[in-house]
Structure 1
């Protein structure tokens, strides 16, 4: 696989590939405005509505950001789209591979935390909740891991980049 490796430490790579990949993707999204690409397993739903089996939430496998040239970025590095399927299926046994492109953090909300619509039961979702401090920590990792590769002048965790 043609991965341009990041400068992230082994500890950071573990942190952002074993449960918090979405926080890293959100940090990069806030810094660049790039969409978040979720790799999903539709064949192994994380949650199925006990009253309606056609209502379910897919298991999440990994989250990337996608730049304007179609390159996929995560804590390990940058790689072309063509490498994603092979890389993800080498990591995990995926029953039914799918993906979703998310243009905002609001779009990611479906997969994060434990919540339900008003008047409905809460649903535990496949990705852990995060806050602005978690994203700020990840943004510092992004800046160091991609030093020289990512051209962002100023990072504002609440409003995105100031270019």
Structure 2
């Protein structure tokens, strides 16, 4: 199985690529719409993992051109900004699935292998620090990397933001087994 990941978050893309490759899935990465279409034309992917927000572009605009290249390609729109409106729009444009980030490699594989929807969700908790980190990264992206402007946007002092940027968030954690198996 070979796929294409279209995501402007370089760190997330590389991490997901490594996770899927360890599970035997080839994954090429594009960080914008033009390079995504070029890679898809070069070698048709079995599936496309498409981020909703690609810098100033929208992943929604890529669904139809990707579908036109190969109608059998499975297109999964992923977003950290999930809403009913974007889910409906994505499906209307031709996406096969819509997932809220963060999503694990195992959850993606189950989805791509056709697991029933009720078995896709895996009991994980995203640490608050990770959610805060992603929110900070979004603010930095919206302000062009300007820490002072991002701090104002987030309603915090610049030095506090700099301290938070010095820390890396932890991984997702599995929920404890409450059934006692």
Larger Rg: 2
Q: Which has the higher contact order (CA 8 A, sep 6+)?
A: 1
Q: Provide the TM-score with structure 1 as the length reference.
A: 0.26
| Higher percent of residues as helix | 2
Q: Provide the TM-score with structure 2 as the length reference.
A: 0.24
